[in-house]
Amino acid sequence: MSAQEHLIYVHGLWMSGGEGLLLRHRLARELGATVHAFTYSAVTHGMEEITEQLRQFVAAIEPPRVHFVGHSLGGLVIYRFFERFGGQPPGRVVFLGSPCVASRAAVEASHSRFMSALMGRSVAEELLTPRQRQWRFDRPLGIIAGSYSFGVGQFLAGFEEDSDGTVAVSETRLPGASDHIVVPVSHMGMLVSARVARETARFLRQGHFSLA
């Protein structure tokens, strides 16, 4: 990659972008691209507002080529962004632990009025009802799922299948994706995993993950 290429990191629920600092540093070093963190409020804003903010963010950068990496809910922000705003500069996309079809943990948490309020509008719009999403956009998508079950979601959802402690591996699968791998990391652990950073960089360079 060259300095003309840009990468935008989109964080998940209750995050600020700072949690992805190590991942962003590793990707900048491995790819030689300019890395940006897009921040938003998932609690107070709905997806329409968030994706408009992302459109403005991308437009301000004016990148000739731009890649996107979304962690957790951030993957759905990217999905909705491309659904609304086509014609973006070329590039690739990686989702990290994104609940592409639904989130059992979010559904269980929503039964509590307190937790429901904490999760906010975008989660209510995107995660509480199963969705038949499909990746139909003109750029390759790679998905990394975690299989180390460490997180509050494990207690809420009671997963009886592989999960990262917050999102089940099956919830990360999205028809139309170019590649999908499972790495033994937790939902937050994938942000500090050297393996996840290497796989993300490989996909953004080559359009596929490693076989090892």
| Residue 212 belongs to some domain of the structure | no
What's the mean pLDDT when you consider all of the chain? 85
Q: How confident is the model at residue 114 (pLDDT cuts 50, 70, 90)?
A: very low
| Residue 142 belongs to some domain of the structure | yes
- Range of the structural domain that residue 172 is part of: 5-206
Predicted confidence (pLDDT) per residue in 161-206, tens digit: 888 988 999 899 999 999 999 999 999 999 999 999 999 999 999 9
Mean of pLDDT values over 27-32? 95
Please count the structural domains in the chain. 1
Domain CATH number, residue 123:
3.40.50.1820
Q: Which residues contact 115 (CB under 8 A, 6 or more apart)?
A: 109
| Residue 211 belongs to some domain of the structure | no
Beta strands in 11-110 (DSSP E): 34-38, 65-71, 93-96
Q: Would you tell me the crossing angle of helices 194-206 and 21-31 to the nearest 10 degrees?
A: 40
Q: How confident is the model at residue 132 (pLDDT cuts 50, 70, 90)?
A: confident
Q: Is the alpha carbon torsion for 130, 9, 198, 14 positive or negative?
A: negative
| Residue 115 belongs to some domain of the structure | yes
Burial of 35: CB neighbours in 10 Å, binned 0-12, 13-18, 19+: buried
